[in-house]
Amino acid sequence: MSENTEAGQAIKLDPWFGHYADRASGLSASEVRALFAVASRPEVVSLAGGMPFVRALPEDLINGALSRVMSEQGPTALQYGSGQGVPALREQILEIMALEGISASVDDIVVTTGSQQALDLVTKLFINPGDVVLAEAPSYVGAIGVFRSYQAHIEHVDMDNDGLIPDALRAAITRMGAEGRTIKFLYTIPNFHNPAGVTLSAERRPEILQICQDAGILVLEDNPYGLLSFDEDVPPAIRSLDEDGVIYLGSFSKTLAPGFRVGWALAPHAIKEKLVLAAESAILCPSSFSQLVISEYLASADWMGQIISFRDVYRERRDTMLTSLAEHLPELSWTVPNGGFYVWVTLPDALDSKAMLPRAVTELVAYTPGTAFYADGGGRQNLRLSFCYPTPENIRIGIRRLATVINGELDL
């Protein structure tokens, strides 16, 4: 083989190139990774990442929980624990899920290393190469990465301002059936969608569920943002309508802090045992230390009050972003999120968000191009703006810079 072929080059860089399993071909770095390294320079206003504003957490609350755990349960916190997770924390997770209308048994909760790991485990359990995962168009970039790594076929389903469109879901199921493909699950982010910012309406939830039930498709409901609502509470979770056909994923990453790396899956009873076995085979058990600190924090702090103050921080930032967009980029359209972290922007036809990103970084502002959120090359006319991390002042500066970039591109 010539050294000049692509494979030849890859062998030069990695002598093990020919040895990887087929599934490793699905593991590819995002094309915008290198630019993001540049975008993390302090002079760049980054509207790209989805990092929660953890500085809003009172440090003494976390410190207090941490030191109590070490003085009262130190050896347990430092030891291996149950593969399914600490029972006391699972009880508290039940209370949290009750806020979204879910009633469940503590025995059906599996604590994971962030909900990202739950996504991985569920996909590992259900996907053979070529099986279909239905996912919203656009969908969470980290989930697309997981589905790809198990060689799933990702079929996007359109959304509008009320979330996933039931007729589009029916059409996708018919389309996949005509191609003779097996659909394993629908992956959906019903609340304050990442990246689209929209919420699935209360009316559509039972309809979406019914469509999946009729077609024998499992629903994977991913809900890390549900408690971060700015205006009114979210409709009851899809899981509150069906306990046998929905796997629900939750996380402490956005409502507390992602550094703990604690999330969970609530699975139908029949699936839970396999999920625990898969978790044990991957990591033996989730971090005892993190789980006990979170459990102590939930038991001793006003955690709902803390979530309410997070909402206040993010609401102000969302308002700043929407006002700045209206002021500087009135020719664009965007979604209006009622919670969460993200605004999804649609550019004029002539623009390409991916091609425009280097110019934006030169102008010291970064965003995530829409293409990151599609498995099929879509999204060039969109970009995701995050308002969770930058201060309101920086959001204003960032949108002004973005307007310079966009107006410059339109003048070409």
**Rule CB under 6 A: which residues touch ligand PMP?**
50, 114-116, 140, 142, 189, 194, 222, 224, 251, 253, 258, 263
Nearer to ligand PMP, 345 or 351 (CB): 345
CB of 130 to ligand PMP, least distance (A): 24
The residue among 217 and 262 lying less far from ligand PMP, judged by its C-beta, is 262
What does the alpha-carbon distance between residue 288 and residue 76 come to, in Å, rounded to a whole number?
7
| Helix axes 87-98 and 288-300, enclosed angle (nearest 10) | 50
Closer CB to ligand PMP, 255 or 288, in the complex: 255
> Residue 348: which residues within 8 A CB-CB, separation 6 or more?
331, 332, 410
In angstroms, the CA 408 to CA 412 distance is: 7
Judged by beta carbon, residue 289 or residue 401, the one nearer ligand PMP is: 289
CA nearest 295: which of 89, 90, 62, 87? 89
Alpha helices (H) in 233-268, listed in sequence order = none
How much helix, strand and coil, in percent to the nearest 5, is found in the chain? 50, 15, 35
Q: Which is nearer to ligand PMP, 157 or 403 (CB)?
A: 157
Taking the complex as a whole, the smallest distance from the CB of residue 194 to ligand PMP amounts, in Å, to 4
Distance between CA atoms of residues 395 and 369, nearest Å: 17
Quote the least distance from Cβ 193 to ligand PMP, whole Å. 8
| Nearest distance, CB of residue 291 and ligand PMP, angstroms | 14
Tokens representing residue 166 in the block: 């039931």
As a dihedral over the C-alpha atoms of residue 370, residue 254, residue 45, residue 380, rounded to 10 degrees, the angle is 0
Closest residue by Cα to residue 387 from 260, 225, 252:
225
Residues 6 or more apart in contact with residue 56 via CB below 8 angstroms? 309, 310, 313
Give least dist CB 327 to ligand PMP, A.
28
Torsion over CA: 313, 316, 319, 321 (sign): negative
Amino acid identity, position 6: E
Closest CB to ligand PMP among residues 194, 324: 194
Task: Report the residue number whose CB is nearest to ligand PMP.
Answer: 114
Maximal C-alpha separation, the chain: 66
CA-derived radius of gyration, the chain? 22
CB of 259 to ligand PMP, least distance (A): 9
Which is nearer to ligand PMP, 109 or 356 (by Cβ)? 109
The two tokens of residue 348 are 């004029």
CB of 148 to ligand PMP, least distance (A): 15
Name the residue nearer to ligand PMP (CB basis): 235 or 396.
235
Contacts of residue 217, defined as CB under 8 A and 6 or more positions apart, other chains included, come to 134, 173, 183, 184, 185, 186
Nearer to ligand PMP, 135 or 301 (CB): 135
Q: How far is the CB of 294 from ligand PMP (least distance, A)?
A: 12
For residue 199, the minimal CB distance to ligand PMP (Å) is: 13
